[in-house]
A and B are shown apart, each in its own frame.
Chain A
Amino acid sequence: MTTPQQATPADGDAAFSALPSLPGERIWGFWSFTSVNVGLAIATWSFLTGGTVALFAGARTAIATGVIGGLIAVVLVSLASCIPSAKYGVEQFTGLRSVFGANGVRALVLVLFPLVAAGWNAILAVMCGRAMVNVINAVAGTGFDPNGGLVITMALLAIVAAWVVLVKGPVSIEWVNKIVAPLLAVMSVAMLALILVQHPWSELAAAPPLQPFGDPGLDWMIAIELGLGTGFSWWTIMGNLARLTTTQRVAFWPNLIGLFLASLVASLAGTFAALVLGNADPTVWMVPLGGALLGVLALLFVGFANLTSMVGQTYSGSLALLRVGGRPARRLPWPVLAALLFLPAAVVVFWPGALYDNYFKFIAWISLVLAPLCGVHFVDFFLLRRRTLCVRGLYEPDGVSRYSYWRGVNPFALVAVGAGALTYYLLLNPLTYESSSLFRWTSASVPAFLVAGVLHYAFTRLVVVPAGKGGYR
């Protein structure tokens, strides 16, 4: 492939990732995609997820609910996003033109990515800030507040550092797969080993959850919901990776090893640590678990790993914005575009505990949006289009493409997503975390997925197909 003239480090990648990939460019076989998957799955937020599960679940419940929630969500996400992208070699949001229309996808990306980036970057920056402050506290014997000015300053410094790295080029993404992910895997296994050596299984299994609702059935479903939400959170990025796999088998099964199993192990290390140390915050565990020297080194590493995660995910977001944002996005100088993506997080970190200490609510918001999106995506590809897309139609302008809708938007698909989100909200309110009586039997993500999928099917058959829109047959 000849390379385009590049104005920024992201320009070439954005151009390349927007094109359909050819067989010779599909670089990932089974084990290489498994390795990418494991590298993605074992991140510092896995510890935070595990710690959060410990608020509601003991060790045994955490294992069972982690398996149930994670497995269901990862299977649905892998089918909906990886299979179409692998089959046709197209990036996920290019493929979604067939569902939402060209302008519908544009609106989705322009709203979704900045909000998701703001949330994840704020959480990672605060974790980095707290890790650094805990290092200072451990070394200097000080007692800085986990929500104080020093944490805010450190979180802001982390955001600035991530921006500087991103402006210079996405070299840190290489670091994630080669150094950070393997070290985090070692850290997860070491944490598990340390905990199990110091606390036998019988003691661990008897450790009560930290802040349960007190209703075992409700706590059980909340823990499943956390697993579902974490699994659905992968929906935004997996299709773009799967387009580089050699077959649909290779695109699918490694997700169960990485996004499901590896992520579960790291998360359980977090849950067990939180249960025995009585605190859900991963930055509090390292010194008590590993001692002063190892603990400080682990905290420094957690801070570094968070920086690389911030750069990696903001880079993915910036590529998506460059692809769909048209000329206005491409005219923005690269440092300005990168800064705009980091800016919302820089505001949020002024309230360090708001998002970080309410991580379970953040996951609920993520799932409220992504579970219905995944449902619509799944039903459209597997049921309505019977696993067949026209690649040319995904690239033709609206009005010419068979995937044309009303002014480039399929409002019925968006309404179906909205109805799924409303279903989630009625079952589990992400603001207050109050749930309906049905929630303990159904969860919130699975009904949101189903309602959105069923409505999308009905709207398409009853309205969109008769109107001759969308290229359905």
Chain B
Amino acid sequence: MNSDWYEAELSRRLAMIESPAHDDPAQADLPRADRILLAVGVVVVVVAMWLWGYPA
């Protein structure tokens, strides 16, 4: 790894990321609806599978 190149590139990127004009859609957190769907979905699927599959 070329250290000089790496340091220069890292500085450039950090400056861009910290710039007020930096806009990255990935910064937006997972939407609330997704989080609710996930929590409910995991519980429902786990309980349903447990009831269906647990050996009698």
Contacts and interface: CB of A to CB of B under 8 A. Distances in A.
Q: Do A and B belong to a common assembly?
A: yes
Contacts of B52: 60, 64
Given A15-B5, A23-B24, A60-B53, A252 B14 contact: no
A251 B18 CA distance: 22
Interface in B6-37: 6, 9-10, 13-14, 16-18, 23-31, 34
Given A64-B50, A248-B28, A71 B17 contact: no
Q: Which secondary structure characterizes the binding site on chain B?
A: helix
From B1, B9, B10, name the one whose CB has the most chain A CB atoms within 10 angstroms. B1
Given A15-B1, A75-B38, A392-B18, A89 B6 contact: no
Contact of B28 (A4, A63, A247, A322): A247
A468 interface: no
A262 B23 CA distance: 34
B22 to A, nearest CB: 8
Nearest to B22: A23
A83 B30 contact: yes
A391 B29 contact: no
A219 B54 CA distance: 10
B13 A19 contact: yes
A402 interface: no
Nearest to B24: A23
A65 B9 CA distance: 47
A71 B45 contact: yes
Interface in A74-127: 75, 83, 86-89
Contacts of A87: 26-27, 29
A104 to B, nearest CB: 21
B17 A20 contact: yes
Contacts of B45: 67-68, 71
Nearest to B46: A68
B25 to A, nearest CB: 5
Interface string A357-399: 0000000000000000000000000000001000110010000
A18 B7 CA distance: 11
A23 B50 CA distance: 42
A247 B17 CA distance: 16
A248 B42 contact: no
Interface in A41-90: 60-61, 63-65, 67-68, 71-72, 75, 83, 86-89
Interface string A313-345: 000000000100000001000000000000000
User: Which 3 interchain pairs have the tightest Cβ spacing?
Assistant: A64-B53, A216-B55, A64-B49
Interface of A: 1-2, 4-5, 11, 14-15, 18-20, 22-23, 26, 60-61, 63-65, 67-68, 71-72, 75, 83, 86-89, 216-217, 219-220, 245-249, 251-253, 322, 330, 387, 391-392, 395
10 contacts: A11-B1, A15-B6, A60-B53, A63-B53, A64-B50, A65-B49, A89-B17, A247-B28, A248-B29, A253-B34
